[in-house]
Chains A and B, each alone.
Chain A
């Protein structure tokens, strides 16, 4: 593996985890501040604007629900790009990125499902309908959980990354197919569909807070993702150091001359 690094020296320099830690350490407070700012403005707008004349106050759920649903899909796209990075370029940070994005994506999907359910109760009179969108998001949630389960089942991080990347890409190819087939299934079973807000028909009054909240959620995702990546890198370093320490301690036990050095080694 080390011999071929001559050709891609520049690229692997960029991928150096230490450099990433330094860069992200400088950047993340700014990202967190921007997230907080956008959330403050967005939440103010959410409650300052008037409610819908039909839906009343419950329309404000939309400002959390829709951005979360967008992010649930964007997060999977980020994971798919990271999976390509793992498989094609063997980028050392790509597998860290894919692994840490999965729980965040699952959280956003969960938020989208829960808020959708809370919104559905006053609007449709039921917590859950087998609407095409809800069903696809639910399947996406299951796929996130499957990916997390796979990551936890494989103990070697490098192999978990490769195998997980393949599954992410297979899922990425399949998501449009699943979406299309669920749409088909829904029109077959439910000819009279539920009332829904159409994108283009939405009033600017609602659109403004929605866009601000979408930006805020996106910033939140990237902040959390960067922080999770930093944690994962540090966690792997700790694991490596522990392994080294255990190895040198074991060596120290067999030979009394090196015992002191083995214990002192981090």
Chain B
């Protein structure tokens, strides 16, 4: 029973706020009763409710896209041409913005220790947390993209292609970002570091996402190859990300 002494002090030694207690109790109940589905719902609720900050990402996305015309000028033809790329870059930055909170709140209130002690494999827990994070922060970006496409003067096929590629591509950013978030979880100012570590790794996602959109709107290039590569990237990152994140979480709590 060594862990009783070594892992609980952060929980026991500190007077939990009532919100923390509610969180912890509901976490424990969630795992005991229904497992991963409950964890998913739990994380979703927490991120949607006050203090969760899921909608901040969408706001940031809108702000980034709104700022672009001030930089490049209000020429509608130019905006239509660079629109898909702008939306993708905006979505990438907005997805990175919320990533540092992925494990931070759990570490602060101590429930990360509970997560680590679960019987469920940690990789699975991380995967579920990633899914919840994507549903709360990634999916709103996808849903907001058609509206922002109108600001960029894009036509219907470009809007559809952008939305589709964002739908398939943003989970990849969340998965690979989870690895970065887990690596930086114990750092005092991890947020900026997460972006620095994750952005180079997310370059392939950006390349294939934008190529797929341009392939869809420019005639000679076929749409399917880059789109399938994007799908493959999401699947590969769905494996690499949670495995690396689980390893990093274990390493950071030793």
List residues of A whose CB falls within 8 A of some B CB. 87, 139, 142-143, 145-146, 149-150, 153-154, 158-159, 162-163, 166-167, 169-171, 173-174, 177-178, 180-182, 184-185, 188
Chain B, Cβ-Cβ closest to A145: B196
Q: Which of B50-78 contact A (CB under 8 A)?
A: none
Q: Which 10 A-B pairs have the closest CB atoms?
A: A162-B251, A181-B204, A185-B207, A181-B207, A146-B197, A142-B200, A170-B244, A166-B248, A146-B196, A163-B183
Q: A143-B200, A154-B187 are in contact. Are A177 and B252 (CB under 8 A)?
A: no
Q: A146-B197, A170-B179, A170-B240 are in contact. Are A184 and B207 (CB under 8 A)?
A: yes
Give the contacting residue for A178; candidates B197, B203, B221, B252; CB below 8 A: B203
Give the contacting residue for B252; candidates A145, A159, A181, A188; CB below 8 A: A159
Cβ–Cβ < 8 Å partners of B203 in chain A: 139, 178, 181-182
Chain A, Cβ-Cβ closest to B183: A163
Distance of A231 from chain B, by nearest CB (Å): 25
Cβ–Cβ < 8 Å partners of A184 in chain B: 207-208, 211, 226, 229
Bound-complex Cα distance A195 to B244 (A): 40
Cβ–Cβ < 8 Å partners of A154 in chain B: 186-187
Cβ–Cβ < 8 Å partners of A180 in chain B: 204
Bound-complex Cα distance A146 to B254 (A): 23
Bound-complex Cα distance A142 to B240 (A): 20
Cβ–Cβ < 8 Å partners of B197 in chain A: 146, 150, 167
Inter-chain CB contacts under 8 Å: number? 87
List residues of B whose CB falls within 8 A of some A CB. 176, 179-180, 183-184, 186-187, 189-190, 193, 196-197, 199-201, 203-204, 207-208, 211, 214, 221, 226, 229, 233, 236, 240, 244, 247-248, 251-252, 254
Bound-complex Cα distance A224 to B90 (A): 42
Cβ–Cβ < 8 Å partners of A153 in chain B: 184, 187, 189-190, 193
Cβ–Cβ < 8 Å partners of B248 in chain A: 162-163, 166-167
Distance of B96 from chain A, by nearest CB (Å): 13
Q: Tell whether, in the assembled complex, residue B204 and residue A159 are in contact, meaning their CB atoms are under 8 Å apart.
A: no
Chain A, Cβ-Cβ closest to B233: A177
Cβ–Cβ < 8 Å partners of A158 in chain B: 254
Bound-complex Cα distance A105 to B183 (A): 22
Q: Tell whether, in the assembled complex, residue B251 and residue A166 are in contact, meaning their CB atoms are under 8 Å apart.
A: yes
Q: Tell whether, in the assembled complex, residue B207 and residue A166 are in contact, meaning their CB atoms are under 8 Å apart.
A: no
Q: Tell whether, in the assembled complex, residue A162 and residue B204 are in contact, meaning their CB atoms are under 8 Å apart.
A: no
Chain B, Cβ-Cβ closest to A153: B187
Bound-complex Cα distance A32 to B166 (A): 53
Q: Tell whether, in the assembled complex, residue A149 and residue B196 are in contact, meaning their CB atoms are under 8 Å apart.
A: yes
Bound-complex Cα distance A149 to B200 (A): 14
Distance of B72 from chain A, by nearest CB (Å): 18
Distance of A60 from chain B, by nearest CB (Å): 32
Cβ–Cβ < 8 Å partners of A146 in chain B: 193, 196-197, 200
